[in-house]
Amino acid sequence: MRPAHPTERTVGVDYYVSDADGTGGRLRERDEHFRVRERESFSAEPLDADPSAYPHVVVRATLSGWDTNDFAARLSDALGISRERVSWAGTKDKRAVTTQLFTVRDVDPSDIPSLSAADVELVGRAGRAIQFGDLLGNEFEIVVSEPNSPESARTVRDELAAFGGLGNSATDRRSADARDSAGGDDSGAGDDPTTIGVPNVFGQQRFGSYRPITHEVGLAIVGRDWEGAVMTYLGDPHESEPAETREARKFVAETRDWQGALDRFPGHLRYERSLLHALAESGGPADESTYRDALDRFPSNLRRLFVHAAQSYAFNRILSERLAAGLPFDRPVEGDVACFADRDGPDDLAVPDTDRQQRVSGRRVESIARHCERGRAFVTAPLVGTETELGEGEPGAIERSVLDDLGLSPGDFDLPGAYHSSGTRRAILVRTELSLDHDPLTLSFSLPSGSYATVVLREFLKTDPVDLG
C-alpha cells in the first residue's frame, strides 16, 4: 500500500492498494476517450406491440457531449411533452460518449426526433418505464492521454490482480510472465484480459470533485446541526473556486448578512442563492428552525444526497481502517457480514445482492471464502442507517470505532422525510476483467451499478482525483 492523494484523504480514502508508481496522464481529452455503455435488465416488445398495453417507447441513445438530464429535457422539448414522461436507468457525464436506454411514454415511435450529437435507435415498446433498479452495470473504454510512465500500467494491473485474490497462484504468475514477454513493448496489440480487484470505495465525485463538502453537510444534518449544515454549504471557500466565489463565501461566514451575500454570490450558484433567499425572507435572527426550513427548499433528491454522502464517507473510512489493519478484502474473516451474488445477474458481471446477507461465524469462514473466490459472495461493510446491523469480531470493532469517531449511530438516521435512511451494506471489493491496450494507453473494463470507474483509474494514474472526474 501507499498513501493516497491528499484530496482523497479528505473523503476517507487513505491508501492506494498498489505500490507501483502511476502512469500519470489525463482523462477526457476528447469525449470519445471516455466511452460508457450501460448494461440493463430490461426487456422490450416489438415496436408494433399494442400501445395500450405497452405505452412506453424504448430507445437506445448514444450521446456525445450530452449530460443525461439535458438530453432528456431536449428530447421532451422536441416532442412537446413533459420531461416526466422520459425515463432512464442511470445518469451519465457530459464529457463522454455514452450509450443507454430511455423510455418515452405515450408517443408514436415515428415522432422520435433526430438530435445533434445523438444517435437514437428505436428498440421497441415496454409496459413500464425503465428505472434505476434496471441498471446492472456499465462497460468502460477509457483512453489515458499523455501518460508519463505508461509502462507502469502492467505492474499496477498485476498488483491489483493479487489484491483481488485471483493473481497469487504460480499458474497466474506464469501466465502474466508469458503475456508480458509476448507484448513486451508498449505499442501494438493489447494484453489478454486480467481479473483485478480494488476497494469498492465511493469516488471523489460522490462528495464534490472541486469542493468536497457534501459529506460534511450530511454529517451536520445527521447530527441535527441545521445551522452547521447550511453554513458549511454556504461558507467554507475552497482554493479551486474563483476568487469572487471565495470572497462571497468568506463574507457570509463572517457576517451572516444574507442580503449582502446575495449581492455577492454569482448567479450560477443557484442552490446557495436559494438558501440565502430563504434566510433573507425569514426576517430577524436565524435559529435552527430557520436554517432547517431554508435547507428544506432543496429538491428531495439533493437532501437525500447529503445524507448518503455522510454514509459514503463513513464507509470509505471503514475500508481504509480495514486496509490499515491488514484484513483481507477478497475473503471474509470471522465476524464479517457477507452477501451473495444476484441470481439474475449476467454470468460475466457479478452483481452483489445486499438483501441476501450471511453473518460469517467461525465455522462458515472457509465456505464463504470459497464462494467469494468464485464470485458468488462478497464481504460487506455498512452504509449505516436505522436498520443497519454491524459486524462482529475485528471487522465489527473497526466499524464501531469509525462510527464512534464520527459521532454516529444507526439511530441518528431516524430523520424526517428525505433525510431518513434505513441503511444497507455494500461489497468492499469490486472485481473486473480488465484489458490493457498500449497505443494509446486504453483501459477497458465493466463494473456493477453503484461502483465508480474512478476507483479503478485512480490506482493506475495515481494523480489528483480532480483530474479523474
CATH number for the domain harbouring residue 231: 1.10.1510.30
Q: What is the CATH number of the domain that holds 66?
A: 3.30.70.3160
Q: What is the mean pLDDT of residues 387-414?
A: 96
Q: Residue 421: count other Cβ atoms within 10 Å of its Cβ.
A: 24
Distance between CA atoms of residues 346 and 343, nearest Å: 8
Distance between CA atoms of residues 433 and 351, nearest Å: 14
Beta bridge partners of 426: 381
Look at residue 86 and tell me if it is in a domain: yes
Residues 416 and 360 in one domain: yes
Match 442563492 to its residue by C-alpha cell. Answer: 273
Look at residue 461 and tell me if it is in a domain: yes
Grade residue 467 by pLDDT with cuts at 50, 70 and 90.
confident
Residues 275 and 381 in one domain: no
Residues 127 and 231 in one domain: no
Grade residue 170 by pLDDT with cuts at 50, 70 and 90.
very low
Residues 315 and 170 in one domain: no
Residues 76 and 96 in one domain: yes
| Lowest-pLDDT range of 75-84, 117-126, 275-284 | 275-284
Residues 282 and 330 in one domain: no
Catalytic residue IDs: 93
From residue 376, give the alpha-carbon distance in Å to each of 345, 347, 372: 11, 11, 6
For 70, the domain range is 46-134
Residues 400 and 464 in one domain: no
Percent of the chain whose predicted confidence (pLDDT) is above 70: 94
Q: What is the mean pLDDT of residues 37-43?
A: 92
Residue 117: pLDDT over 80: yes
Residues 331 and 368 in one domain: yes
Q: What is the mean pLDDT of residues 433-460?
A: 94
Look at residue 271 and tell me if it is in a domain: yes
Distance between CA atoms of residues 434 and 374, nearest Å: 17
Q: What's the pLDDT score for residue 397?
A: 97
Residue 172: pLDDT over 50: no
Q: What's the pLDDT score for residue 94?
A: 86
Grade residue 190 by pLDDT with cuts at 50, 70 and 90.
low
Residue 403: pLDDT over 60: yes
Beta bridge partners of 39: 137
Q: What's the pLDDT score for residue 183?
A: 47
What lies within 8 Å, CB to CB, of 180 at 6+ separation is 154, 191
Residues 281 and 387 in one domain: no
Residues 311 and 410 in one domain: yes
Match 452483489 to its residue by C-alpha cell. Answer: 352
Which DSSP state fits 21? P
Grade residue 177 by pLDDT with cuts at 50, 70 and 90.
very low
Give the distance, in angstroms, between the CA of residue 306 and the centroid of all CA atoms in the same chain: 14
How many separate domains does the chain show? 4
Q: What is the mean pLDDT of residues 63-84?
A: 92
Match 416489438 to its residue by C-alpha cell. Answer: 46
Residues 322 and 384 in one domain: yes
Q: What's the pLDDT score for residue 230?
A: 96
Last residue of a domain, one of 267, 298, 329: 298
Look at residue 171 and tell me if it is in a domain: yes
Grade residue 175 by pLDDT with cuts at 50, 70 and 90.
very low
